[in-house]
Amino acid sequence: MYKLIKNELLKEIKKKKTIIMLFMLVIIMLFSNIYMLNSRRTSSPQNRIKQNQKFIDDLKINLERSNNKNNKNDIQNKIKDMESLNNELQFEIDNKDLGWRDLAERKIADIDNKLNKLEDGSIEDKDNLEIGKKMYQICLDKNIEPVYTGDKEKALNVIISIIRLMSMFFIPIFVVVIISDSISGEFNPMTIRMMLVRPVSKVKIYLSKFITLNILTVGSVLLLELINFLTLGIMIGFENPELPNIVGGKYQNDLLNGVSLVHGSMYLLPIWKVLMIGIGLQALYMICACAFIMMISTISKNSILSVSINFVVCVGTSLFVNVVSRSNFEAIKTLYNMIFAGYFDGVSVITGELSRTMKNPNISIYSSFLIIGIQLVIFYLLGTLIFNRKEKTI
């Protein structure tokens, strides 16, 4: 098995497309760094308020043009969220001369004041305020400086944003291009015949390819992210790894309010756990994508057809997430949430943003690992079964 993996790895590394894609991975990561660091420098509270206000103005224009009641409610909720964020940023500006502990205490006092003024029916606002108060209280109790604004973010926050940025578009393209002709590409030069006459079981051949391609894709991405994280830490420093982050929010359709938060669904996790879970979901997504792409490559026997199908499923899903989320057909959203490709952005799963976007309270960290894991096993077993029968059809 070791020799099979070694030979496959050497063969894949020598391919021009592999060299090009690995080079592109480095370049895209570099540009992601530049983009995030530049955003960090320009993300002062004043600039963020201006940017948010422009977004609010655009949302108000869309609100006037919309004729869909649910869409209007969603837009109104977004406007409300952005205005709340601007109030928080203005609070920081007004108290900029305070030390972080004094500022955190002021924020807790401000939250208590808002809680006292809340109406009985404002459950979502109450949940948001209470989890925010708990977050700042933990920071005070553990002597952790809250680092949540863009111009103060350090390596952990920045690498999480970069992972998300990469996962949205380039990672799906990367795995599709690297893996799509892994089996189908062997049919044109008929090297498939040489593979199948080896004194090695077909199961081992398929497994060696699967392991090799995961080493190449998952290994390359994770290694580069690790190097990038350490480089960012040297440049801008590291946050306290115990810095609490609000995660786990679940959202559902609400006839009156558009999208509403499921009461009690938010909780706090240290930022290092957020990063580890995000990396875990990213890796599992790529492994599952590898199993799916290899299965399609085995079935198709044609590289162009294999690339086309895999591009539509893996890349198309990430590109059309916003189109699907705005659809009024719940069946489409349900289907979308049942396929592995819908979980390309693990960070949005952790934060609850995917649940909010798709208006689906069933999306959680646990369910995401379960859905991707089950499909990984199914795709791999089907691919192995199909490949094992190849010698009878060639």
Phi, psi of 259 (to 5 degrees): -130, 130
CA dihedral sign of residues 345, 347, 349, 352: negative
Q: Is residue 106 part of a domain?
A: no
Question: pLDDT, tens digit, for every residue of 133-147?
Answer: 999 999 999 999 887
Q: Is residue 123 part of a domain?
A: no
Q: Is residue 308 part of a domain?
A: yes
Phi, psi of 142 (to 5 degrees): -100, 5
Q: Is residue 142 part of a domain?
A: no
Residue % of the chain over a pLDDT of 90: 23
Question: pLDDT, tens digit, for every residue of 359-374?
Answer: 888 888 999 999 999 9
Q: Which residues lie below 8 Å from residue 243, measured CB to CB, with a gap of 6+?
A: 139, 144, 146, 147, 156, 270, 271
Across 76-80, 195-199, 201-205, 340-344, the highest mean pLDDT is recorded for: 340-344
Q: What is the band of 282 on the pLDDT scale with cuts at 50, 70, 90?
A: very high
Q: Is residue 11 part of a domain?
A: yes
Asked whether the predicted pLDDT for residue 178 surpasses 60, the reply is yes
Q: Is residue 290 part of a domain?
A: yes
Give the count of beta carbons closer than 10 Å to the beta carbon of residue 319. 13
Question: pLDDT, tens digit, for every residue of 216-261?
Answer: 999 999 999 999 999 988 888 888 999 999 898 888 776 655 677 8
Residue 371's domain spans which residues?
Answer: 2-43+153-392
Asked whether the predicted pLDDT for residue 97 surpasses 80, the reply is no
Q: What is the pLDDT of residue 79?
A: 83
Tally of domains in the chain: 1
Q: What is the pLDDT of residue 357?
A: 81
Do 200 and 4 meet the contact criterion of CB atoms below 8 Å apart? yes
Q: What is the pLDDT of residue 196?
A: 55
Q: Is residue 295 part of a domain?
A: yes
| DSSP 8-state symbol, 390 | G
**Stretch 38-63: mean pLDDT, rounded?**
78
Asked whether the predicted pLDDT for residue 151 surpasses 90, the reply is no
Q: Is residue 280 part of a domain?
A: yes
